[in-house]
Structure 1
Amino acid sequence: MILGERIKLLRKTLNLSQSEFGKKLGITESAVCSYENNRRIPSEQVIMAICREFNVNRPWLMDDEKNDMFLPEPIGILDELIVQYNLNDTEMEILKNYLALSITEREEFIKTLKKIF
């Protein structure tokens, strides 16, 4: 299944018209139609908006049939950040490890990063 077909399947699964779907993303009905019919490829910004707005699993949207259409509902703030910023496994580990540091360790970590950059 190609990207346009997945967008259409997602919209129909959500029981939204092209107009309603577009409004939630800040795009026009005609743009949604063009994406669904593969006349246009959505920008990275639109793809991110689809994933964020509808809690869509990006790998599924981008043609990975092994994944579910939707991500699990976020449980906490960290899960919401992971979804909102579409963090990969490495980024999630970095964030979790950083948050597990003590305040002193975080300050030292920041000092080290500032020296690097």
Structure 2
Amino acid sequence: MKEQNLGNEEIQQRLKDIRIAKKLTQKNFGKRLGLSLSQISSYETGHRKITQRTINDICREFDVNEKWLLEGKGNMFIDLTEDLETSEEIKVMLRKMLALQEEDREAIEKIIDNAYLKIQNEKL
């Protein structure tokens, strides 16, 4: 894939803003994308130009609005609840979950997974 000229200072800063908003270190941010700490650092400092593939991965993994990342237009994150016809209670719970640190989110996800598996096994 051809590397695009996506290394301007605004994109570098927005990349860092995403990482900070998600409360992740460069290492953990990179791990979620399959990239090294040095790659993330190089993107944030402008020593390496970010590829479209990495842009796509970031947007998918972190629910980032690509137009915001590339152009600074719109909201940083895609509102995952705007298209759902869910109760307000579920929307509030989702917002709270997304605001947690990664480790806390993972712990809660394990609890939910275990409860779900228990329910599924009881149905058998």
TM-score (norm 2): 0.57
| 1:5 matches 2:13 | yes
Compare relative contact order (CA 8 Å, sep 6+) and give the higher one, 1 or 2: 2
Deviation, structure 1 residue 63: 2.1
Matched, 1:54 2:62: yes
CA distance in 1, matches of 2:62, 2:69: 11
Gapped regions of structure 1 (runs ≥ 5): 77-117
Aligned counterparts of 1:30 and 1:7: Cα–Cα separation in 2: 14
Alignment partner, residue 71 of structure 1: 78
**Matching residue of 1:27:** 35
Unaligned runs of 5+ in 2: 1-8, 85-124
Give the TM-score of the pair, scaled to structure 1.
0.60
Q: Detail structure 1 runs of 4+ shifted over 4 Å in the superposition.
A: none
Q: Deviation of residue 44 (structure 1)?
A: 0.8
RMSD between superposed Cα atoms in Å: 1.4
1:82-93 superposed matches below 5 A: none
User: 1:63 & 1:5 partners in 2: Cα distance?
Assistant: 12
Identity %: 37
